[in-house]
Amino acid sequence: MTAEHRAGAGPVDTGPALQIDLFLLAGQFPSFTHAEALRAATNYAILAEQAGFDGVWLAEHHFSNYGTCPSAVTMAGYLLGRTTRLRVGTAAAILPTRHPIALAEETALLDAVSGGRFDLGVARGGPWIDLQVFGTGLDRYRMDGFTAGLDLLLAGLSSAGTVRGDGQRFPFPEVAMVPVAGRDIPVWIAATSTPTVTLAAARALPLLLGMHDDDDAKAAMLRAHTAAASGSPIPGHASAHLAYVADTVEEAEATLRHVMPGWLAAAGGQPRIDRSAPPRRDLTGYLERLLAIHPVGPPARCVQRLAATVAATGTRRLLLMVEGDGDPRRTLANIERLGREVVPPLRRLP
């Protein structure tokens, strides 16, 4: 199932099929250079197409080795050119650090040249130093600033062909959108808080659900989204999962425990715009939570856990984060095995 968005209209179901995608962070592990991490992510995406996945989604991070891709849109353009069938999405482009109309132009461009294979996900991000470096400031991160940016982005993606600034945050006269969006380009909102869920519902946009929540928490978030949409469910939500296949649970968990804590630590070291210290995180506890709720272990266990998510949430798009072992050869093998032993049974779900 996919969801498509035209400014002023809600997402439209285009079919019941379960979509199974990769979620790539291009993380830098100890043995990687930045360039090697990005080349590895490219190889993962190319293999995903060959292994029968429907798409890939790309994370975006600045000034952090947790993810070495600073522009999910740029990386998406490259991967669209390297593939023929695969959908490529951003999970997510950080809207507060971008001009919304520049992002709308790039989205329409990639959609046009790829034959409609580009999916746009956007996020608020955090109160990081990015906002100072790129000159947008905390105002664009705060909820009213994020809302203004999102509304301008959606206006730029509409079929109107022209767009005008709001006179305050974006003071510019009416201009022509070139290229104008030629179809209903999908837009998702990454949400971790109630205000963002409410905003997504108000704009009839589906959610990108992160790896940190279990099925119950995701289901609760989707119920809140439906309630905020006046009780009318909005289809097309996507759910992200840590995914690692091995012959035994013990083998899978031991591999991830050996590598992931150091990688996760990089995510907590991102500089904040106010220079305050980031909150302390129990990385061991966080990883154990991920191992407890996600598809990690033998193929049958992975299928069961993902099927449970589909049943509990109604989500019809699954995003599998496959890089947790920190070794490109093992990651490629993980993708192949997921495509061969996990994806086919999931395809048969009602």
Asked whether residue 8 is assigned to any structural domain, the reply reads: no
Asked whether residue 11 is assigned to any structural domain, the reply reads: no
Instruction: Write the pLDDT tens digit of every residue in 48-61.
Output: 999 999 999 999 99
The CATH code of the domain that includes 294 is: 3.20.20.30
Asked whether residue 2 is assigned to any structural domain, the reply reads: no
| Band (265; pLDDT cuts 50, 70, 90) | confident
- The domain tally of the chain equals 1
pLDDT on residue 5: 39
Q: Is the pLDDT of residue 25 over 70?
A: yes
Q: What integer best gives the mean pLDDT of the chain?
A: 93
Asked whether residue 240 is assigned to any structural domain, the reply reads: yes
Q: Which stretch of 12-16, 57-61, 209-213, 235-239 has the lowest confidence by average pLDDT?
A: 12-16
- On whether the CB atoms of residues 252 and 297 are closer than 8 A, the answer is yes
Asked whether residue 191 is assigned to any structural domain, the reply reads: yes
Beta bridge partners of 189: 122, 207
Asked whether residue 79 is assigned to any structural domain, the reply reads: yes
Instruction: Write the pLDDT tens digit of every residue in 183-212.
Output: 888 899 999 999 999 999 999 999 999 999
- Rounded to whole angstroms, how far apart are CA atoms 209 and 12? 19
How far is residue 203 CA from its own chain's centroid?
A: 18
Which sign, positive or negative, has the C-alpha torsion 330, 208, 308, 261?
positive
Look up residue 110 and give its two tokens: 């990639």
Q: Is 93 helix (H, G, I), strand (E, B) or coil?
A: strand
| Band (213; pLDDT cuts 50, 70, 90) | very high
Domain of 223? 19-347
Q: Is the pLDDT of residue 97 over 90?
A: yes
Q: Is 238 helix (H, G, I), strand (E, B) or coil?
A: strand
Q: What is the pTM of this model?
A: 0.93
Q: Is the pLDDT of residue 283 over 70?
A: yes
327: left (phi over 0), alpha (psi -120 to 50) or beta: beta
Q: Is the pLDDT of residue 1 over 70?
A: no
pLDDT on residue 16: 61
What secondary structure does DSSP assign to 37-91, as a single string? HHHHHHHHHHHHHHTT--EEEE---SS-TT---S-HHHHHHHHHHH-SS-EEEES
- On whether the CB atoms of residues 55 and 208 are closer than 8 A, the answer is no
Asked whether residue 73 is assigned to any structural domain, the reply reads: yes
- On whether the CB atoms of residues 208 and 121 are closer than 8 A, the answer is yes
Asked whether residue 4 is assigned to any structural domain, the reply reads: no
pLDDT on residue 13: 35
Q: Is the pLDDT of residue 291 over 70?
A: yes
Instruction: Write the pLDDT tens digit of every residue in 131-169.
Output: 999 999 999 999 999 999 999 999 999 999 999 998 899
- Rounded to whole angstroms, how far apart are CA atoms 9 and 40? 38
Mean pLDDT of 213-220: 97
**Angle at 306 (CA atoms; ends 5, 240), nearest 5 degrees:** 50
311: left (phi over 0), alpha (psi -120 to 50) or beta: alpha
